Each structure stands twice: as C-alpha cells, then as structure tokens.
Structure 1
Amino acid sequence: MSKACPPTIALFGAGKNIGIPIVKAFVDINSPILVIARPTSDLSALPKSNLVTVARVDTTSVSSVAGILRDNRIDVLISGVSYIKGGVDAQVAVARASRNAGVKLFLPSEFGIPTGGGTDPMPKAKSDFAEYLKSIGLPSLRIYCGQFHHSIPWLSAVDETGTFYIVGKGTTPQSYTAVSDVAGYVAHVLTTQTLSNLFDIELRIEGQRATLVELGALYSGTATVEHVQALPRKDMYYSEVREYLQNNGDRGIGSSGWDWASGTDDENRASSGNAFWSGHRWLTAKEVLRL
C-alpha cells in the first residue's frame, strides 16, 4: 500500500513574529511551502531555500488568491497575520479564496491565548472569524500556545526600564511557549497527522507553566522586581495593552487551558495538545531569554 502524499502548504502573513518562523520550520523538515504576499511586502527575512516559493498577489482579491491556491493545488492555508495590524479582518478574503479553490484546512492566526467564545475584543474578533469559517464550510485548526517567551521582557518592561514590573499579584500560572516550538509544532502536526483528524478542532500547547513572580525571579541580580497597580506611562509603548494582558493573567486568561464559557483554567487541558509532538523537548523561558 503506497504512502499518502503529504499535504501542500501555503502561508499568508509572513511576518517576523510567527509567519517567518513557520516557514523556517517547514524548511527544517525539508517540506515545501508557498508564501502568499502582497506586491509590496518585505520578504527579505525569508529563508533562502528552493523549498520556499513566493507568490505576490493582491490579497484583497478573492479571485486572484484563489487562482494562486488552485494553480498550486494547496491543501492547507496557514495565516500568520497580526491582530494589532488589522490582520484578522484581512483573513476574510483569503478564507473565501481558500474555499473557492478547494483548500481542505485553514489555520487562522491564533498562536496566543484561547479565543473560542471570547468576550474581550481580541479573543472575540478571532472567535468570530472561526465562526465565519464554519459558516462558509471551511474546516479550521486553531492552535493556542499562551504567550511567547520572548514577549516577557516587553510585558514587564524590564528591558526598557531595568525593572521587572508586575501589575497586580502576578501569582496565577500562565502558559509560555517559544516561537520556534510553536512553529515547529505547526509543521510537525500538519505533516504527520491525517488532515481530516484536524478538522474544526482546537489544540492547546504549553512550553512552560509559570507565574510572573517566578519569571521575575529569573532576573535576580540583573533587574529589580516591583509590584504596581499601573505601568509608568511616560515613553512606554502600549503600556495600556501590557497592563490589560497582565491583569488578564491574574484572572487565568494567560493559560492555554483557559475556557471562556466557564471562566476557569485547567492545567491538564493547557498542555493537552503537546501529545501530538511526542518526545519533543520544549524550551524554557530561561533558555530563550538566556538568563
């Protein structure tokens, strides 16, 4: 009996945060990937490999994107767009094109805290988009990973100020995962699992479970730790967003095991998807941040 052909993969949203790492992860396992980008996108950071093909197209044109996907017989479309830069809405045209071109599975840009049934603005926008995918009959796979290890210095403002700021208590466990682990997980799952087994499911992964107090302790000897009610506003980019994320962390929302419907966190649920990458050693924050 012949082995099934691996799925053909495309990525939309080749940004530095998660898109390019995902492309690199496919190259690392010798798997080809098509990158769909706007004509003006800077793709200089893409890996230089014959496994990477670039198609530049007006990504707001459903017919143009569908033509690219159809010509390349794409089975899976991965979105790496940024919520902050309006990427969630930009996914709509690409999703319609994917459905029209016969794409079998769509990975919306999640790669953060759980969003299913979310009521806060960002989770709700992502949850609404997942419902849109259902409404057009396009199966989706949503991957939650908590927060990226490399976001910890930004979240706490430690690199900018020399102080590791904790808004509130900072004693609630949250999920943190290395970008390279998230990207590698995406590539591994899509190339080892039967696609139909991934239709309309949520996979929750966690590289490390830790509190902000525990993470602050990693900076012992290099930075002070200070508990505050609010972050300093002067010259601090997105201070309100950081406060919001830290306050949510105190509620448990920073965990991959968070459930919006019940308002509860489940430690076992947070890492339940890790089983799809059996034997993998997940990086710690100390390793990623070189502390």
Structure 2
Amino acid sequence: MSTYKSFAVAGAGTVGLPILNALAAKSVPVVLLSRVGSSAKTVPSGVQVVQVDYSDATAVATVLKEHKVDVVLSTLGVTAVAAQNTLVDAAKLAAVKLFVPSEYGFTTDAKNEIAAYLKSLNIPSTRIYNGGFTEYIPWLVDYENGGKIKIIGKGDVPVSFTSIADVAGFVAYVLTTLPPSELEDRILRLEGERSTLKDLAAQFKTSVEHVDSITSENGAFKATVQRILDTGAGSTGWDVVRKVEGQGNDAAGSANALWPGHQWQSIKEVHKL
C-alpha cells in the first residue's frame, strides 16, 4: 500500500492537467504549482492552485512544506524543463519523499542527467517512459497535411505509443497504490501499442510517402524526431547508453503489469479508426 499522502504537480499542460485530474479523482490532496503570470486553469474542486516562481527554490519549498507534500511531479514542457533542477532543490529543502521528473516520452541522455542530479541529493525518483503520445501520431507523420503518412528515413523500427489518458491514469494508480519499494529509483516503461511508422498507414487507411523533409509548421522538428525514432529510441525499452533494447523489467511495456486489469487504449481506439 502506498504511504504517499499529498502531491504537487508542476505544470498543467498536455500531460500535467490529466495527471492532476487523475490524482484528484483518487481523493488525495493535490496542489498545482503554476508559473507566476500563467493563465488560469480549470481544476477539480479541492485542488489548490499556487502560483510560484520556478526559479526560486526557497519559495517553492515553502509551498511544499505548507501543504506537507510527499511527492512532486514535474510535467514541465520542453521550453521550461530547465527549471526542473530548481524544483529538485526545492524538493530537497522540503524533505519530499519522491520526485517524478518530466520524462514522459522517449528516452534521451538528458533524462539520465536529471536522474543523476536527484540521486546526488538522495531524493528517490520514479521515471515514466511512455514513448509517443498516441494522440500526437497525426502530427508526427504530418497526416493532417495531405492525409498520408510522411516518413523521413525507413520508418520500419518499432515505436511505443501510449495515450495521454492511460499515462495519467497509470501515474495516479501507482502513486496511490504501490508501496515506495516498488517505485523508488525505478524506470517504469509503458506501452499502449507498438507500431512502426510504416505500419501506421494501414491503420489510418492511407499510404506512406517517403520524404526528404517536412515543410509544414514545425516540420524540421518532426523530421528530427523521426530520425531519432529510426535509431530505435522510440521504444520505451530502449537503453540510451548501450543502444540496445532492454529485457525483463527493462523491456518496453514491462510496467503495464503494475496496473492489473487495465485495458490500454489502441491507436484505432484513440483516433476512432
């Protein structure tokens, strides 16, 4: 049984707000740490919203102490993820029991860096790898522009995809159910469905278009992500240091079993195909 009683979520974006809602549905105390000046968010009744300066560790720690927070979950986006170190410092000052860094997505070297920093401060961490968000598949392959699966490279390497709802529900479930011994200093690898980019064409009932570049908005970034996926790093079982697929507890989807009885959403279900 979990001994974590109070939670703080930093950021209320793509995955932050769903996680916040999922935790609130468990009837546990939750506080949203919102950046000063950010727009108001609609949150469940009972969730307290506190505006803080993410760059001020002492100020953040004061909030964490005031609300007796056991677990800090960072869901900061790419542009704000640099603030994580300060959140870690605040967690240390507040004697937080567990830190969940913003690692939702693919494995990268940068994620090992924040894990090393947490370890240096003796703060236990739980890292969640979910691969790509299933909802973002049309964006990734530029399906919205022309109705085809646009692929940079071969697109024949398996990629892990997990829906946002499944990620949020999993996080809330394990944090409020499992004992610390099953969460501390663990990487939990999720996988709602496994597919190559090429195989997405059959699911979306369209064809593949191999391209040298993607010219739509954020096309260069989409191309960069696809090139990374072609290396194997799109699998949640990918070992970014050894450059191999993990086995056993390090395999893609190995953490799915921690949520017994749950039916993970497929690509077809999410996109109503």
Do Structure 1 and Structure 2 share a fold, with TM-score over 0.5? yes
Determine the C-alpha separation between the residues in 1 that align with 2:229 and 2:147: 22
8 Å contact from structure 2 (residues 109, 240) kept in 1 = no
Counterpart of 1:60 (choices 55, 63, 68) is 55
Counterpart of 1:140 (choices 122, 125, 129) is 125
Specify the alignment match of 1:35 in structure 2: 32
What is the letter of the counterpart of residue 43 of structure 2? P
Q: Report the 3-state secondary structure (helix = DSSP H, G, I; strand = E; otherwise coil) of the residue aligned with 1:199.
A: coil
8 Å contact from structure 2 (residues 60, 87) kept in 1 = yes
8 Å contact from structure 1 (residues 13, 37) kept in 2 = yes
Counterpart of 1:78 (choices 73, 77, 92) is 73
What is the letter of the counterpart of residue 30 of structure 1? S
Counterpart of 1:126 (choices 96, 107, 111) is 111
**What TM-score does the superposition give when structure 1 sets the normalisation length?**
0.88
8 Å contact from structure 1 (residues 175, 254) kept in 2 = yes
Q: Deviations over 1:156-183 (max 9, x none)?
A: 1011232220222222111000000001
Determine the C-alpha separation between the residues in 1 that align with 2:196 and 2:182: 33
Question: 1:266 deviation in Å?
Answer: 4.0
Q: Report the 3-state secondary structure (helix = DSSP H, G, I; strand = E; otherwise coil) of the residue aligned with 1:275.
A: helix
What is the letter of the counterpart of residue 77 of structure 1? V
Question: Relative to structure 1, is the Cα distance of residues 266 and 131 closer, same or farther in structure 2, using a 3 angstrom cutoff?
Answer: closer
Question: Aligned Cα RMSD in Å?
Answer: 1.7
Counterpart of 1:257 (choices 234, 237, 245) is 237
Determine the C-alpha separation between the residues in 2 that align with 1:5 and 1:150: 33
Q: Report the 3-state secondary structure (helix = DSSP H, G, I; strand = E; otherwise coil) of the residue aligned with 1:159.
A: coil
Specify the alignment match of 1:97 in structure 2: 90
Is residue 2:266 matched to residue 1:281?
no
Q: List aligned pairs for 1:42-57, cutoff 5 A.
A: 42-44=39-41, 46-50=42-46, 52-57=47-52
Q: Report the 3-state secondary structure (helix = DSSP H, G, I; strand = E; otherwise coil) of the residue aligned with 2:257.
A: helix
Determine the C-alpha separation between the residues in 1 that align with 2:22 and 2:254: 22
Determine the C-alpha separation between the residues in 2 that align with 1:173 and 1:283: 17
Specify the alignment match of 1:117 in structure 2: none
Determine the C-alpha separation between the residues in 1 that align with 2:204 and 2:221: 23
Q: Report the 3-state secondary structure (helix = DSSP H, G, I; strand = E; otherwise coil) of the residue aligned with 1:212.
A: coil
Specify the alignment match of 1:226 in structure 2: 209
Question: Relative to structure 1, is the Cα distance of residues 191 and 41 closer, same or farther in structure 2, using a 3 angstrom cutoff?
Answer: same
8 Å contact from structure 2 (residues 238, 252) kept in 1 = yes
Counterpart of 2:178 (choices 193, 207, 212) is 193
Counterpart of 2:16 (choices 16, 19, 35) is 19
What is the letter of the counterpart of residue 262 of structure 1? R
Q: Report the 3-state secondary structure (helix = DSSP H, G, I; strand = E; otherwise coil) of the residue aligned with 1:48.
A: coil
Q: Report the 3-state secondary structure (helix = DSSP H, G, I; strand = E; otherwise coil) of the residue aligned with 1:11.
A: strand
Is residue 2:146 matched to residue 1:161?
yes
Q: Report the 3-state secondary structure (helix = DSSP H, G, I; strand = E; otherwise coil) of the residue aligned with 1:34.
A: strand
Is residue 2:272 matched to residue 1:290?
yes
Question: 1:5 deviation in Å?
Answer: 5.4
Q: Report the 3-state secondary structure (helix = DSSP H, G, I; strand = E; otherwise coil) of the residue aligned with 1:160.
A: coil
Question: 1:7 deviation in Å?
Answer: 2.1
Specify the alignment match of 1:119 in structure 2: none
What is the letter of the counterpart of residue 201 of structure 1? R
Structure 1 regions of 5+ residues with no counterpart? 115-122
Give the stretch that moved more between structures: 100-109 or 124-133: 124-133
What is the letter of the counterpart of residue 49 of structure 1? S
Percent same amino acid at aligned positions?
39
8 Å contact from structure 1 (residues 88, 126) kept in 2 = no
8 Å contact from structure 1 (residues 178, 283) kept in 2 = yes
Q: Report the 3-state secondary structure (helix = DSSP H, G, I; strand = E; otherwise coil) of the residue aligned with 2:198.
A: helix
Q: How many residues align?
A: 271
Question: Relative to structure 1, is the Cα distance of residues 9 and 214 closer, same or farther in structure 2, using a 3 angstrom cutoff?
Answer: same
